[in-house]
Structure 1
Amino acid sequence: MSKPPLLFFIVLAIIAVLATRQFIKQRREAAVNDVSPIRSLTVEVKTKREFPAPNRRSRQREVIAGEEMRYEAWFHPLNGASDIKVQVKEDDYHQMDKGSKGELKMQGSRFVSFTPVH
């Protein structure tokens, strides 16, 4: 039996370094969000979309019944600032309509709530 090639170990080391770096980045962002104050913005729902959550087992394009979905919304601040893209929960996603205006609450880069103004 021959020894695994050096390239194999180099690839494993690169994967480990990149995974560790991503984990640290996510932990740092969560810590910043936790200590950030909640801020309110008057916004308009620019667009929203739902899509299947990335699945490591399959890369199919079709939506399968019972498959986990992800929900995103883009908000346009009425004060002229740049658009905000956030991941939202299913209940929040279904309660907002494209074009509706309301109050967006954010904690750092974390979505807290959207309350439509009628």
Structure 2
Amino acid sequence: MNALPMVLVLAAGLNSCIGNMLLKWSRASLPADAGLADKLFSMGFIGGLAFYGVNVVLFAKALDSMEVSIAYPILAGSGFAMLMVASHYVFGEPFPPYKWIGLTLVLAGIVFLARGG
């Protein structure tokens, strides 16, 4: 199997992670009483949308030569795993043992799916 589709899926997962982090940052950086326009036109929100857009383009390209039943779980799982780690380091979100166990299971699932493709 050509490695490029897998690289594209993982890059799409990274873009999804960055998009989510920017959305969280956009909410955390605004005052609680910020108006809808302030929320929609904040740099974090616009940046998050941009990264989501790149995510879709990369994923669509990967689907040219990869089964969606394999690609999507890898996209979702890798994005989830990256997001758990990034949110811990950037936002100080807790990372208790049950999250470590879940992350391990997600990564094991990604390995099995990737080998099955």
TM-score normalised according to structure 1 size: 0.34
Higher share in helix: 2
Q: Which has the larger radius of gyration?
A: 1
Higher share in strand: 1
TM-score normalised according to structure 2 size: 0.35
Question: RCO higher in 1 or 2 (8 Å CA, sep ≥ 6)?
Answer: 2
